Chain A
Amino acid sequence: MTIAQLVVPVIVGGIAELDRTSVFHGMLSEPIILSPLVGYILGDPVLGLKIGALLQLFFLGMVSVGGSSPPDGAMAAVAVTSAASLATHYTAVPHEVALPVAVLLVMVPAGRIGKAIDARLKESNVALLHKAEDDLETNGAGVVEKAIWKSVLKTFCTYAVAVAVVASAGTLITSFVLAILPQGWWKALEISGSLLMMASAGIALASLRERRAFLVYASVGICLLLLMVGLK
């Protein structure tokens, strides 16, 4: 583990959070993109891919509409992937399924932390607005530009620090949980992995706004099952 492997995920997390909240909005913050990237940086891209796929289904419908602050999938993606990747170095828990499932169950609430930070930043930007409003009369358009860049810098720094703290705390909590996890639970966690996938797929299906989504899902599912019967 190098210093770069510890610092780069934090910077990537900060950039992803900027993409999610302030600049561009090009899906860099989606777990299916972010988790494999963090996993790759930490030396385990496949683990990142697994975590990213499951988190993506879970967070699919959690989008900011009308100024709301939904749970933060990017924060959860960085925290879960970092903790799981680091845990592969010291735990005997099988890395294929049981480890990511255990870490995911411990760390998924990290998304709530991002949501809380989001709300705080939106509140704190009110002061920037009032300052810009007061200065606009005398100093012209430059005050708006200054306020925008201040806000971007504040958002990046806040989230980079938050990602570092959450990922570190998550790694500590996870290492404790993995240390006390009875060996008999490892197989159980593997079975839970499939169930988590199903529950997350259900959550993703429910988040679709298309009213015929359930009907299409059922029709395609039945066709595929019939195809499986035919092939077997």
Chain B
Amino acid sequence: MNKLNGTEDISGSAARKAFMRSFMIQAGWNAERMQNLGFLYSLIPLLDGASPEDSRDILLRHLEFFNTHPYMAGALAAAVGKMEKNGEEKATIRAFKQSMMGPFGALGDSLFWFSLKPVAVLVGVVLAMAGQFIAAVLAPLILYNVFHLWMRVWSYQGGIKEGSKLISRISGFRFSIINALLGMTAATAIAVLVVCELGTGGGLFGAGEWDVASCALAAVVVFLAAVASRRGLRPVTLLYLAAGFGLIAALGVP
């Protein structure tokens, strides 16, 4: 947080206040213009020093539709605040905001929701299988939030200092490589938890230690479930089908 020292035109306290408010970007999310209220809420401290007329004009302009990834919205609000303070053209600011929210949303979704989160929570599940209660709860929280908070601060700082040039800071980040590495780590974690859950007999739901052939069969069942899920079978249907098979198999055995 100490890095948010502000700039000549935006004071450190205003920058810090706006940053804290960016954690509430999804509050006020509405079906009509989505994150616009949260975006305004984060922008307000950055308009500190503007005349009431200018401030009102800026707020009314930014009541338009806005939606991006919640972690990246703060950086966009900071960049827009900086551009407003610099007195840039209204059309330029609007074009920047409108053109950036889509790519920032896609970037945040792929990096956080589809890459980092699976790895963090799967680490928790593997630790849960090992019976490590505290580690299973804390490890995902720490793994995820250290990177997530760093990314928020780093991108926000870019917005405050560089305004519309924020994009050059973000594009220097090798997202595709990070996403691929995280995705492969998550797949590895699933393989580990399937084989260990059944192979060691010490897992969460393991009914005793299984032999190698049973473990291989289980790994294939997981693979088939994944294929069925990818092909559009609803997760809840798959869950009840699995339970049904289990019940039929067990009740069929005298």
The reply on A200 being an interface residue by CB < 8 A is: yes
Looking at A108, A205, A224, the one whose CB has the most chain B CB atoms below 10 A away is: A205
**Which A residue's beta carbon lies closest to that of B149?**
A26
Looking at A123, A194, A216, A218, the one whose CB has the most chain B CB atoms below 10 A away is: A194
Which residues of B from 179 to 226 have beta carbons under 8 Å from A? 179-180, 182-184, 186-188, 190-199, 203-207, 212, 215-216, 218-219, 221-226
Q: Which residues of B contact A123 (CB under 8 A)?
A: 30-31
**Which B residue's beta carbon lies closest to that of A197?**
B205
Q: Is the CB of A33 within 8 A of B124?
A: yes
Q: Which residues of B contact A54 (CB under 8 A)?
A: 204-205
Which residues of B from 34 to 58 have beta carbons under 8 Å from A? 34, 36-38, 40-41, 44, 47, 52, 55-56
Q: Is the CB of A136 within 8 A of B141?
A: no
The reply on A72 being an interface residue by CB < 8 A is: no
Which residues of A from 112 to 163 have beta carbons under 8 Å from B? 119, 122-123, 125-126, 128-129, 132-133, 136-137, 140-141, 144-145, 147-149, 151-152, 155
Q: Is the CB of B52 within 8 A of A140?
A: yes
**Which B residue's beta carbon lies closest to that of A20?**
B26
Stretch from B8-16, B83-91, B160-168, B239-247 at the A interface: B239-247
How far, in Å, is A49 (CB) from chain B's closest CB?
5
**In the complex, what distance in Å separates the CA atom of A27 from the CA atom of B59?**
31
Q: Is the CB of A21 within 8 A of B26?
A: yes
Q: Is the CB of A192 within 8 A of B56?
A: no
How far, in Å, is B203 (CB) from chain A's closest CB?
8
Interface size on A, residues (CB 8 A): 95
**In the complex, what distance in Å separates the CA atom of A199 from the CA atom of B228?**
10
Q: Is the CB of A145 within 8 A of B225?
A: no
Mask: chain B, 58-87; 1 = CB below 8 Å from A; 0 = not:
011001000100110000000000000000
**In the complex, what distance in Å separates the CA atom of A103 from the CA atom of B127?**
23
The reply on B159 being an interface residue by CB < 8 A is: no
**In the complex, what distance in Å separates the CA atom of A165 from the CA atom of B146?**
35
Q: Is the CB of B32 within 8 A of A126?
A: yes
How far, in Å, is B91 (CB) from chain A's closest CB?
21
**In the complex, what distance in Å separates the CA atom of A188 from the CA atom of B124?**
28
Instruction: Give me the 10 closest cross-chain CB pairs, A-B, nearest first.
Output: A210-B183, A202-B225, A192-B246, A188-B250, A206-B229, A193-B205, A199-B242, A125-B30, A220-B191, A216-B187
The reply on A170 being an interface residue by CB < 8 A is: no
The reply on A1 being an interface residue by CB < 8 A is: no
Interface size on B, residues (CB 8 A): 102
Q: Which residues of A contact B40 (CB under 8 A)?
A: 141, 144
**In the complex, what distance in Å separates the CA atom of A36 from the CA atom of B128?**
10
18 residue pairs of the A-B complex, CB under 8 angstroms, read A25-B70, A27-B145, A53-B136, A60-B118, A129-B37, A151-B27, A193-B246, A196-B205, A198-B218, A199-B225, A205-B229, A208-B187, A213-B183, A214-B223, A218-B223, A225-B212, A228-B195, A232-B212
Q: Is the CB of A148 within 8 A of B24?
A: yes
Q: Which residues of B contact A30 (CB under 8 A)?
A: 117, 121, 124, 140
The reply on A65 being an interface residue by CB < 8 A is: yes
How far, in Å, is B239 (CB) from chain A's closest CB?
6
**In the complex, what distance in Å separates the CA atom of A22 from the CA atom of B25?**
7
Q: Is the CB of B128 within 8 A of A33?
A: no
Q: Is the CB of A151 within 8 A of B128?
A: no
Q: Which residues of B contact A189 (CB under 8 A)?
A: 246-247
Q: Is the CB of A203 within 8 A of B129?
A: no
**In the complex, what distance in Å separates the CA atom of A127 from the CA atom of B47?**
26
**In the complex, what distance in Å separates the CA atom of A191 from the CA atom of B243?**
9
The reply on A63 being an interface residue by CB < 8 A is: yes
The reply on B18 being an interface residue by CB < 8 A is: no
Q: Which residues of A contact B203 (CB under 8 A)?
A: 197
With A201-B222, A202-B226 known as contacts, the answer to whether A133 contacts B63 (CB < 8 A) is yes
Q: Is the CB of B226 within 8 A of A155?
A: no
How far, in Å, is A154 (CB) from chain B's closest CB?
10
With A101-B205, A188-B247, A228-B195 known as contacts, the answer to whether A148 contacts B28 (CB < 8 A) is yes
**In the complex, what distance in Å separates the CA atom of A159 from the CA atom of B77?**
29
Looking at A62, A122, A198, A212, the one whose CB has the most chain B CB atoms below 10 A away is: A198
Q: Is the CB of A49 within 8 A of B37?
A: no
**In the complex, what distance in Å separates the CA atom of A174 from the CA atom of B40?**
45
**Which A residue's beta carbon lies closest to that of B180?**
A210
Q: Which residues of B contact A213 (CB under 8 A)?
A: 183-184, 186-187
